[in-house]
Amino acid sequence: MAVQAGEMRERAAVYREEPVTDENNETDYVYQPLRTIWANVTPTSGRTAELPGEAERAEITHKVTIREASLPEICRGMYFVVRGLRLDVLYWYPIYNRRGWLEIFCRMVQGEVQADGA
């Protein structure tokens, strides 16, 4: 079923990885806000995995449908924030039977333990 412009009900903040040079002339990459766009966000699949220490991780895949003109340059170094949830970009492709629309598949990971303990 095709997405209509009226179904773009979610405000998605877009963040992109940008190089930043510090005082030691070293380059680091930091996510910077790029823009806020309208999107249609649909969960598509999910799975859980057991982690050591009786912890569990949930990984949910979402499909984010946007107008191509709202985000002309897209890359894997981006993520969306929709309703406080971070959606990391996995891959994308145009909707071939409807010009001007993109489907972006994203991953939301919950409960993952970071290396620094956060």
Distances (CA, A) of 69 to 60, 66, 72, 109: 27, 8, 5, 28
The reported pTM is: 0.80
Please answer whether residues 8 and 72 qualify as being in contact, where contact means their C-beta atoms are separated by less than 8 angstroms: no
Q: Is 78 exposed, middle or buried (0-12, 13-18, 19+ CB in 10 A)?
A: buried
Question: Does the pLDDT value for residue 90 go beyond 50?
Answer: yes
Please answer whether residues 59 and 32 qualify as being in contact, where contact means their C-beta atoms are separated by less than 8 angstroms: no
User: pLDDT, tens digit, for every residue of 18-45?
Assistant: 999 988 889 999 999 999 999 999 999 9
